[in-house]
Amino acid sequence: MMTSTMTSRSSPGAADASASGSMGRAVIVTADDFGLSRAVNAGIVRAHREGILTATSLMVTAAARDEAVALAHENPKLDVGLHLVVCRGRSVLAPERLHGIVNAGGDFAESPVAAGMRYFFNRSIRTRVHDEIRAQIELHLKLVGRLDHIDGHLNFHVHPVIADMLIDLCTEYHVPCMRLPREPVFTTLALARDHTVRKIVESVIFRALSRRVRRKLNARGIRSTAALFGLHQSGHLTEEYILGVIARLPPGLTELYFHPAADLGGPPALEAQSEVAILTSHRVRAALDEQGVRLTSFAEVSRAIARAPTVVPKD
């Protein structure tokens, strides 16, 4: 069985990557949906080569997956994690092995609400869901060769049923980091007051889910960041907003996540193109330097964990 590169863990009580006080303020800049399309792949690679992007997460069954994997190997400093898909995407396992989860073509439900309710209430499918999550992890390891972090398409990785399975598998495969979508909503609202009601509702839901997951991550020694931005302003990111976030970054480790895409002739959404511009902006890079914020990655966190001495709890 292939595993990730992490070989040791800190004590459970120190499991959160927010315990990065020696790092001062640091950010992991990530992009979701690697492999979704050639335009997404191009946007991600440009943001990494020419900008501040340090990490991405791969959709292992997406249409441009093979190109994304080749690009990952061409760019070894790009930290490629797994973008777990259990809604709005295709399965790794054959449809006949996932009865009640995917359709005859291997497609998951398009509705997040329908999918979420099905996973929560239909106990008969849970073993098959677990098998599919394992299959996505193993395919990622086969394609990329290492796995330092996992997040989820539409943040389904913090769904109570999915999260419990995923945390067990992260422990088994020694995956050291997992995203917690807990954004400081009042910081976001201070910078962008659009869609206030939607942002507050999202915050209540995702903070509750993240609080539950964080306890479980801590118990297993799996790391997360102290804060995250990109959830509530997704699809509406601007350079001014990101500059405002940088000026307000809390101590420790923060994740900034994006959904960039480049124009390859069949233009993606303008919002996705603008995110490439933000990630390659000289103003954004200068703001990080001026604020003394260090760029890092989940791979670096993994290496730091591996170097740290194992703490043996006292009886």
Report the relative pairing of strands 227-229 and 177-178 from DSSP bridges: unpaired
Rounded to whole angstroms, how far apart are CA atoms 23 and 8?
20
Bin 200: left if φ > 0, else alpha if -120 < ψ < 50, else beta.
Answer: alpha
Looking at residue 308, its pLDDT comes to: 79
Rounded to whole angstroms, how far apart are CA atoms 236 and 234?
5
Rounded to whole angstroms, how far apart are CA atoms 165 and 126?
9
The share of the chain scoring above pLDDT 90, in percent, equals: 86
Looking at residue 269, its pLDDT comes to: 84
β strands within 188-266, DSSP E:
227-229, 252-258
The share of the chain scoring above pLDDT 70, in percent, equals: 91
- pLDDT per residue as tens digits for the range 177-216: 999 999 999 999 999 999 999 999 999 999 999 999 999 9
- pLDDT per residue as tens digits for the range 38-81: 999 999 999 999 999 999 999 999 999 999 999 999 999 999 99
Residue 179 contacts residue 228 (beta carbons within 8 Å)? yes
pLDDT bracket for residue 7 (50, 70, 90): very low
* DSSP label at residue 244: H
The two structure tokens encoding residue 232: 């509530």
Which 3-state string (H, E, C) describes 209-223? HHHHHHHHHHHHCCE
- Give the position of tokens 């929560």: 120
- Give the position of tokens 């910078």: 191
What is the three-class DSSP state of 40? helix
Residues forming beta bridges with residue 204, ordered by sequence position: none
List, as one string, the DSSP characters of 84-112.
E-SSSSB-SS-GGGSTTTB-TTSBBPS-H
Residue 258 contacts residue 31 (beta carbons within 8 Å)? yes
Rounded to whole angstroms, how far apart are CA atoms 179 and 228?
9
**Of 98, 130, 168, 235, residue with least CA distance to 90:** 98
* pLDDT over threshold 70, residue 98: yes
Rounded to whole angstroms, how far apart are CA atoms 35 and 29?
18
- Cα–Cα–Cα angle for 208, 209, 211, nearest 5°? 65
User: CB within 8 A of 123, min separation 6: which ones?
Assistant: none
Rounded to whole angstroms, how far apart are CA atoms 39 and 135?
26
CATH classification for the domain delimited by 12-307, as one of 3.20.20.370, 3.40.50.2300, 1.10.10.10, 3.40.50.11890: 3.20.20.370
Residues forming beta bridges with residue 157, ordered by sequence position: none
Report the relative pairing of strands 252-258 and 227-229 from DSSP bridges: parallel
Q: pTM score, two decimals?
A: 0.91
Q: What is the mean pLDDT of residues 270-283?
A: 96
pLDDT bracket for residue 13 (50, 70, 90): very low
Q: Phi first, then psi: what are they for 102, rounded to 5°?
A: -125, 165
* pLDDT over threshold 50, residue 10: no
Looking at residue 109, its pLDDT comes to: 98
